[in-house]
Structure 1
Amino acid sequence: MKRPNDQTRLNSPEWLLAAYAKLLQRTSRMLACVDEKDWFTLVEEQSCYVIEVEFLSRAEANLALSGAQKERKAALLEQIIEQVMEIRSSLLARREELRRQIDVSQRKRDLVRSYGVPPLLDNKSP
């Protein structure tokens, strides 16, 4: 029995669909990172995601998919896009939260510079 070489396997429709399924798993991990506020791991996962998307883009350029395979790919892509949009929305909210925190810090710093007394950080008495 002849075994296909690595190049053939890397350019098969089955391999492509498996790669999209793995990409979906990666976006699921990215979404979990957002939920857990694990920003460092999210950045690592996003870096790998970008590399994988680039590779998939080039790998599928010369592949012909059957109708069923196209439907499977479309379903995977739909799930991936939904998760990426959810991640993006969460990151935009996080960016706004950080922007507000930076604004508060800058106002506190300006008050200290102007009046020389740091503002109270909480309502508790000393």
Structure 2
Amino acid sequence: MTMSEASGPDAVIAGYRRLRSLAAEMLALANEADWDALIERQQGYLEQMDRLKALDAACELPAGHAAIKAELLEAILADDLVIRRQLMARRDELGLLIDRSRRQRDLQRTYGRQGTSPGDGFGQGSP
């Protein structure tokens, strides 16, 4: 493969197809609530975006390739939107869990001390 083939319009479209594939994989992971794998996959997605940005900037696409790029971008952005919504829902869920845990900890600290206080009069056998 020559340098021009590695950086030409076909390489740009191949890069967008790879990005589209990664976005679809990330969406599947989000749908499965596999957050750890999603975060790991995101690294490859970001690396592909960086490579593609440089490749795309170095090449002017003919009309046919530009139309394919637009379709791929539309699909990538649609997946990205769904992933972001699911991540925001997960963030909100985790926030609720953290708040609940914090309240339980605060209650335990407050009422746990009262129940163990030696001079509280409970269970002392007083008349």
Give the TM-score of the pair, scaled to structure 1: 0.86
Query: Is the counterpart of residue 28 in structure 1 residue 14 in structure 2?
Result: no
Of the two structures, which has the highest relative contact order with CA contacts closer than 8 Å and spacing of 6 or more? 2
Q: Is 2:35 the counterpart of 1:65?
A: no
RMSD after superposition: 1.2
* Secondary structure, counterpart of 1:65 in structure 2: coil
1:96 maps to a residue whose letter is D
Matched with 1:120 is: none
- 2:91 match: secondary structure: helix
Relative to the length of structure 2, the TM-score reads 0.85
The total of aligned residue pairs comes to 113
The match for 1:100 among 90, 96, 103 is 96
In the alignment, residue 56 of structure 1 is paired with which amino acid?
L
Percent of paired sites with the same residue: 36
- Structure 1 runs (4+) greater than 3 angstroms displaced: none
Unaligned runs of 5+ in 1: 118-126
- Worse-matched range after superposition: 89-98 or 61-70: 61-70
Higher gyration radius (CA)? 2
| Shift of residue 107, structure 1, vs aligned partner | 0.4
- The aligned residue for residue 74 of structure 1 is 70
Q: Which amino acid aligns with 1:90?
A: Q
